C-alpha cells in the first residue's frame, strides 16, 4: 500500500517503513506524528484520489531526527549603487519513518518508541528514594545556585557599549530584522562594526545568518559613517 501526502507545501509518495526528510514538524525523537493531508492512496491496481484530500485517511510516522538542511546562499547586488546583500539560510528538517497508512477512519496501532525510555526514567527515582530522604536538607541549599544559573541571561557575542545606540539600518544591507539580531548580540554602534577584526567577522559568520563578505561590506560602510 502507498499514499501521497502533503506536508510543508510539498507532496511525497510514501509506503510503510519509508524514511524521508520533510520540513520541520513538532515532536521529539521517538514521537509519533500524524499527517492527515492524504491526497491519494492505493494498493495494487486500486487507487483512491481525494478532492483534494481523502476522507478518513491518515499516515502516521515516527520522528527519527530533528536537523537542518545544507546552507543556501542568496546574493543580491544593485549596479552602481554600492549595494550588495548576501544571506545564508538552512532549512529546518525532520527525518521521519512511515509507520502506517490508515484509511476509512482507522486508528493508529503503533505507539511512540520513546515511552519505554520514559518509563525507565520514572523508575530511577524510586530506587534512590531512601538515600534521598537523608539528603533532603542539603538539596534545598543547592536549589538557590541552580535557580540563579537559570536566571542568567544567555551569553552574547560582544559586550554592548554604554550610551545611545546607533540606527544600524543606515548601513545598506541591514534592515530592521538584521539590526535587531545584531543588537541582541551586543552590536549597537557604527564604531563597533567599523572596528570588527577578521576574527570577529568569522565569529559572526559562524554564529549568525550573515556571510563574511556581507559583514565586511558593513564594516566598510560603518567606517565612512564614523568619519561624518
Q: Averaged over 180-199, what is the pLDDT?
A: 90
Q: How confident is the model at residue 135 (pLDDT cuts 50, 70, 90)?
A: low
Quick one: cell of 91? 532549512
pLDDT of 143 over the 90 cut = no
Q: What is the pLDDT of residue 160?
A: 86
List pLDDT tens digits, range 14-26: 999 999 999 999 9
Q: What is the pLDDT of residue 58?
A: 93
Q: What is the pLDDT of residue 116?
A: 47
What percent of the chain is modeled with pLDDT above 90? 39
Q: Could you state, in order of their start, the residue ranges of all structural domains in the chain? A: 2-106, 168-227
pLDDT of 150 over the 80 cut = no
Closest CA to 101 of 27, 17, 20, 24: 17
Q: What is the pLDDT of residue 151?
A: 46
Output DSSP code: residue 210.
B
Q: Averaged over 36-41, what is the pLDDT?
A: 92
Indicate the CATH number of 168-227 among 1.10.150, 2.70.70, 1.10.1740, 2.115.10. Answer: 1.10.150
**Cα(76)–Cα(7) distance, integer angstroms:** 30
Output DSSP code: residue 166.
P
Quick one: cell of 13? 509518495
pLDDT of 153 over the 60 cut = no
2-6, 141-145, 159-163, 195-199: range with highest mean pLDDT: 2-6
Closest CA to 112 of 35, 34, 7, 37: 34
Contact 31, 25 (CB under 8 A): no
**Cα separations (Å) of 149 from 20, 143, 152?**
39, 10, 5
Average pLDDT over the chain, rounded to whole? 82
Q: How confident is the model at residue 12 (pLDDT cuts 50, 70, 90)?
A: very high
pLDDT of 117 over the 70 cut = no
pLDDT of 133 over the 70 cut = no
What percent of the chain is modeled with pLDDT above 70? 81
Q: Averaged over 107-122, what is the pLDDT?
A: 59
Q: Averaged over 169-195, what is the pLDDT?
A: 90
pLDDT of 125 over the 90 cut = no
Amino acid at each position: 500500500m502507498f499514499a501521497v501526502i502533503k506536508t510543508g507545501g510539498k507532496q511525497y509518495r510514501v509506503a510503510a517503513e519509508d524514511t524521508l526528510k520533510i520540513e520541520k514538524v513538532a515532536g521529539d525523537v521517538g514521537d509519533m506524528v500524524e499527517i492527515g493531508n492524504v491526497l491519494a492512496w492505493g494498493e495494487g491496481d486500486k487507487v483512491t484520489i481525494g478532492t483534494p484530500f481523502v476522507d478518513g485517511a491518515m499516515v502516521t510516522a515516527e520522528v527519527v531526527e530533528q536537523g537542518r538542511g545544507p546552507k543556501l546562499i542568496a546574493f543580491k547586488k544593485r549596479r552602481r549603487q554600492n549595494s550588495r546583500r548576501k544571506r545564508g539560510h538552512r532549512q529546518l528538517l525532520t527525518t521521519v519513518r512511515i509507520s502506517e497508512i490508515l484509511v476509512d477512519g482507522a486508528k493508529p496501532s503503533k505507539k511512540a518508541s520513546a515511552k519505554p525510555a520514559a518509563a525507565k526514567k520514572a523508575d530511577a527515582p524510586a530506587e534512590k528514594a531512601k538515600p534521598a530522604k537523608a539528603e533532603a536538607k542539603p538539596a534545598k541549599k543547592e536549589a538557590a545556585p541552580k535557580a540563579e544559573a537559570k536566571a542568567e541571561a544567555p551569553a552574547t557575542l560582544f559586550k554592548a557599549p554604554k550610551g545611545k545606540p546607533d540606527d544600524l539600518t543606515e548601513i545598506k544591507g541591514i534592515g530592521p530584522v538584521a539590526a535587531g539580531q545584531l543588537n541582541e548580540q551586543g552590536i549597537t554602534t557604527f564604531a563597533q562594526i567599523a572596528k570588527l577584526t577578521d576574527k570577529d567577522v568569522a565569529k559572526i559568520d559562524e554564529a549568525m545568518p550573515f556571510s563574511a563578505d556581507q559583514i565586511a561590506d558593513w564594516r566598510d560602510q560603518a567606517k565612512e559613517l564614523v568619519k561624518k
